[in-house]
Amino acid sequence: MVAGAVNNEIVSVVSPARLWKAIVKDSHNLMPKLMPDIISSIVVLEGNGGVGTIRQSNFTDVIKDFSYWKDRVDAVDDENRMFKYSVIEGGLIGKKVKSTSFELKFEARADGGSICKLNGEYETIEDILPTEAEAKEMMGSMVAMFKAIEGYLVVSAVSPVRLWKAIVKDSHNLMPKLMPDIISGIVVLEGNGGVGTIRQSNFTNVIKDFSYWKDCVDAIDDKNRVFKYSVIEGGLIGKKVKSTSFELKFEAGADGGSVCKLHGEYETIEDSLPTQAESMEMMGSMVAMFKAIEGYLVANPDAYA
């Protein structure tokens, strides 16, 4: 029997209050929607979210080692935004570990964002420590959940109208100017920006896995500011994934800014999920584009007004 711990810190642009509400208070509703390929459902078996609450997370068959786990809330501190829970049944309990628990703490940054401190503790069945890869995998589930929710809750000080114009209507002109080291050009091959429009994004040689991709507009709703597109050629299509699509939705924030909800879906070629790093990279391209355009709009308040 060996006791050990794994730790991580993640910096986020989302405020502690919003992360706390989404991750601690409503993850049982939110996570099956954001990660349906991994989590089929989360059911509250007992309690109302306070200490002693027991939930069961049910996983899809892409998770090979187990089909569910039950966790129990050990501590919840709304004032200091600290949450701790233990896995009490299922998962790797009884297989590789006797016990495992996780603690999340959300702290404010000076720029309005957050630092999320993640800590995992475990007790193994045998007197052998997990390998570095196994230890990272323990933490990986927490990090993946955090990044999925963060992507859903990206907040901006820029109004939805300006973001919509810049990202949806004019990104083919704007992005090569803002990210010239990555994007050499974006060419409209067909259409005028509506459904069915096809564009080709060409990348510089700093992108090693591919040189271009073509995307097609699947849906565009100017009134509700919802935009969806699919990558139809190039990129990782035919290499790691059969298909991939992204949805952006821009909502008004209370302070005149925006909440940009980002959602990505994919179908892999083989019956295996991408690694945590690959999943984060898929979402990371959207977040990077968003932050580049947001920075430009903040620095140029008259642009796309």
- For residue 1, how many other CB atoms are within 10 A of its CB? 10
Alpha helix (H) residue ranges in the chain = 16-19, 27-34, 132-152, 160-163, 171-178, 276-299
Let me know whether 119 and 167 are in one domain. Answer: no
Let me know whether 206 and 260 are in one domain. Answer: yes
Let me know whether 41 and 163 are in one domain. Answer: no
Rounding to the nearest 10 degrees, give the CA dihedral for residues 188, 194, 195, 199.
10
Tell me phi and psi for residue 207, to 5 degrees: -90, 115
In a domain, 278, yes or no: yes
Domain count, the chain: 2
Give the pLDDT confidence score for residue 109 in this predicted structure: 86
Walking along the chain (305 residues) 10 residues at a time, the average pLDDT comes out as 79 85 92 87 96 96 88 97 96 87 92 86 78 65 78 80 96 95 96 97 90 97 96 90 91 82 83 57 71 88 93
Angle at 260 between CA 254 and CA 265, to 5 degrees: 150
In a domain, 115, yes or no: yes
In a domain, 220, yes or no: yes
Let me know whether 265 and 289 are in one domain. Answer: yes
Let me know whether 96 and 177 are in one domain. Answer: no
Give the pLDDT confidence score for residue 35 in this predicted structure: 84
Measured CA to CA, the distance from residue 127 to residue 215 in angstroms comes to 52
Let me know whether 144 and 160 are in one domain. Answer: no
**DSSP β-ladder status, 183-190 and 3-12:** unpaired
Q: What is the DSSP letter of 192?
A: S
Let me know whether 208 and 116 are in one domain. Answer: no
Let me know whether 109 and 32 are in one domain. Answer: yes
Measured CA to CA, the distance from residue 164 to residue 206 in angstroms comes to 28
Distances from the Cα of 291 to the Cαs of 34, 239, 283, in angstroms?
Answer: 21, 28, 12
Characterize 141-177 residue by residue with b for buried, 16 or more Cβ atoms within 10 angstroms of its Cβ, and e for exposed.
Answer: bbbbbbbbbbbbbbbbebbbebbbbbbbeebbebbbe
Let me know whether 110 and 161 are in one domain. Answer: no
In a domain, 136, yes or no: yes
In a domain, 305, yes or no: no
Let me know whether 167 and 26 are in one domain. Answer: no
Give the pLDDT confidence score for residue 42 in this predicted structure: 97
Last residue of a domain, one of 152, 183, 208: 152
In a domain, 16, yes or no: yes
Give the pLDDT confidence score for residue 27 in this predicted structure: 92
In a domain, 213, yes or no: yes
Last residue of a domain, one of 118, 152, 186: 152
In a domain, 304, yes or no: no
The token pair that represents 42 in the structure block: 């989360």
Give the pLDDT confidence score for residue 202 in this predicted structure: 96
Give the pLDDT confidence score for residue 128 in this predicted structure: 66
Let me know whether 236 and 164 are in one domain. Answer: yes
Q: Tell me, what CATH number does 221's domain have? A: 3.30.530.20
Cβ–Cβ under 8 Å, residues 115 and 104? no
Last residue of a domain, one of 152, 181, 211: 152
Give the pLDDT confidence score for residue 134 in this predicted structure: 64
Give the pLDDT confidence score for residue 261 in this predicted structure: 86
User: What domain range includes position 42?
Assistant: 3-152
Give the pLDDT confidence score for residue 179 in this predicted structure: 93
Let me know whether 205 and 134 are in one domain. Answer: no
